[in-house]
Structure 1
Amino acid sequence: MSSRPVPQARSSYRVFRDIPTRWMDNDAYGHVNNVIYYSWFDTAVNALLIERGALDIHAGSTIGFVVETQCNYFAPLAFPQVVQAGIRVAHAGASSVRYEIGLFAQGSDHAAAQGHFVHVYVDRQSQRPVALPPELAAVIETLKT
């Protein structure tokens, strides 16, 4: 039996990205709906990779497929908060990366939610796993904890 997850501190993450909440993110209970958190995970990681020149979503020969994802929720987030997504890499293999993301209310020291997803990087045409391209591997290295 595993122990219950606990919210990680802001200092556990390597880089951060601000993500403004939207009115439509709130659900009938007055807080952000759980499915939005996964969208924020994707947005935080992929925007970082694109900005750092490690991912070309339109013309790159290598693309990432999500093969696993998970999230733990600790405190509600709601519009009109700004969410700060912390990003780190827990593991990088030959063709896969486990990204871990903490979602923080602006100014909070502990995650309101945290989770991970695993990308397997594949050749765009064959959709078969390939080695991490050098540009991606370099960015991944800066995110490792």
Structure 2
Amino acid sequence: MSGPREPMAGRKDFVLWRDIPTRWMDNDVYGHVNNVTYYSYFDTAVNAALIEAGVLDPQGGDVIGLVVETGCRYGAALSFPQVIEAGIRAEHIGTSSVRYGVGLFAAGAERAAAQGHFVHVYVDRATRRPVPLPGPLRAFLQTLSRD
């Protein structure tokens, strides 16, 4: 071990919020949400925000985001039936990519039960080659940034 663990993120560390209800199938044999399901929550929170903001059209848009990196730290168990409050932020906005930070909180909790990140590289739907972030997407991502 390398020393004390950094505390989990707090609510003030995130910009946009979305509620995600857990489902019966999310629990594993140990009675809590299975670790792989947290990644689905991250994806749901971020992509729903992008779609609702009108900056991502997953079925017909010319530009789509491909996940190229993910990570998660777990601090406390979540389980069904529970509503998770997902906080979202843009941690780094590049030319054709963005690193999202996501905190998953039990309803009303001050510290995240889990916090993670993933990186989207935005590509042309047909060629799958990276493209610069479209202006409306970049503008929306800047509203998610603390910088």
TM-score by length of 1: 0.97
The residue aligned with 1:135 is 136
Amino acid at match of 1:18: D
1:105 offset after TM fit, Å? 0.1
Amino acid at match of 2:16: V
**Compared CA separation, residues 3 and 100, structure 1 to 2 (3 A):** farther
Amino acid at match of 1:84: E
The residue aligned with 2:84 is 83
Deviations 1:60-87 (A, max 9, x none): 0000000000000000000001000000
Amino acid at match of 2:79: A
Task: Find the aligned partners of 1:37 and 1:25 in 2 and give their Cα distance.
Answer: 9
Matched residues, number: 145
- Correspondence 1:1-145 to 2 at 5 A: 4-145=5-146
Deviations 1:17-69 (A, max 9, x none): 00000011000000000010000000000000000001001110000000000
Task: Find the aligned partners of 2:136 and 2:84 in 1 and give their Cα distance.
Answer: 28
TM-score by length of 2: 0.96
Residue pair 1:5, 1:72 contacting (<8 A) in 2 also:
no
Task: Find the aligned partners of 1:48 and 1:75 in 2 and give their Cα distance.
Answer: 25
- SS of residue in 2 equivalent to 1:48: helix
Residue pair 1:123, 1:129 contacting (<8 A) in 2 also:
yes
Superposed CA RMSD: 1.1
% identical equivalent positions:
62
Provide structure 1 residue ranges, at least 5 long, that are not aligned to the other structure. Answer: none
